[in-house]
Structure 1
């Protein structure tokens, strides 16, 4: 039996999530909650309400996904979804490679071309964008966001809610402290 999916957020990231959900073939129906909801446009956009309507859909959707890129907003919504007793979907693009020994948390998205190496651990509600790499024994904590093409060598530890923007890289064993933000093209370095 196929599942159905309610995506919170119908912006750019949310639309990418909807396309990925369709590619997986797991969901018979995909709809959105978005605070820009206008009832007269609902049929066209697949938006069924605002985020404040989450409880209304508790029994209508088997899974929820938070399609918002902002880490702190995603964390707040994550708590609301769990408080409603709803199940978070974890989505993996068919072209991603995840080692059988890696662990991926609930509510996390792994986009096209991602490689996650052996012994790696990715927390809850993490965004791993297209063509990013987490080499062996890497840790990416809850609510972190790896932008497009982020390359992490082995044994890196990316803290809670870190945002590493597109094209950044880190050598072996680098630690990124929680809530840090790295500009596009950054080279993350270990403390000396």
Structure 2
């Protein structure tokens, strides 16, 4: 049984813990969180001994970064990778993943997600509850696809991009680096790097 540390004990972290509990062959042995009010307590019956520095004191086989903020998740992933730590990919047993899908390290694929044939999910990416990722997508590292989002075939989502709750991306669209597609939006054209687009069809928000 692999022993897994979950970084982040907030709502998303608890959803990830629930998925991990339901998996075979792995178990959450601890949360770590920078919120000092939680130190020394239990969350979902799982010990929370301290902040990130407590990782070195906990026997473990892998870490999951259950942090919704892409920039923060990327930074910590890089720091821990450089320090030699290993990451664990959590896949809820109700997720449907085609046999030839490639999933990177430290990903979180949650309840009801569907990932279809030919898709690549890169490291440290969240595919949240009830997402649909259609055939031959390329999802970059440190991406967050929020609950209920739908991506058509041959979509590209680049590094650190965010697809909001219930958003739709039409086939062969690219969501570029660090772009945000707002909740409920529909992307009918490529979304440029670093901007936020919202609405149906999605348009760049005023700054």
Superposed displacement of residue 182, structure 1: 1.4
Give structure 1 regions of 4+ aligned residues with deviation exceeding 6 angstroms.
none
Q: Is the 8 A contact 1:157 1:173 kept in 2?
A: yes
Aligned equivalent of 2:40, options 39, 42, 61: 42
2:136 is aligned to 137
Q: Deviations over 1:68-110 (max 9, x none)?
A: 1100010011012212212100011111111111101100011
What TM-score does the superposition give when structure 2 sets the normalisation length? 0.85
Cα RMSD after superposing both structures: 1.5
Q: Is the 8 A contact 1:152 1:171 kept in 2?
A: yes
Is it true that 1:172 corresponds to 2:171 in the alignment? Answer: yes
Number of corresponding residues? 187
What TM-score does the superposition give when structure 1 sets the normalisation length? 0.92
Q: How do 1:37-116 residues align onto structure 2 when only pairs under 5 Å count?
A: 37-38=36-37, 42-45=40-43, 46-57=47-58, 60-116=59-115
Unaligned runs of 5+ in 1: none
Q: Deviations over 1:172-192 (max 9, x none)?
A: 10100110011110101225x
Unaligned runs of 5+ in 2: 191-207
2:3 match: secondary structure: strand
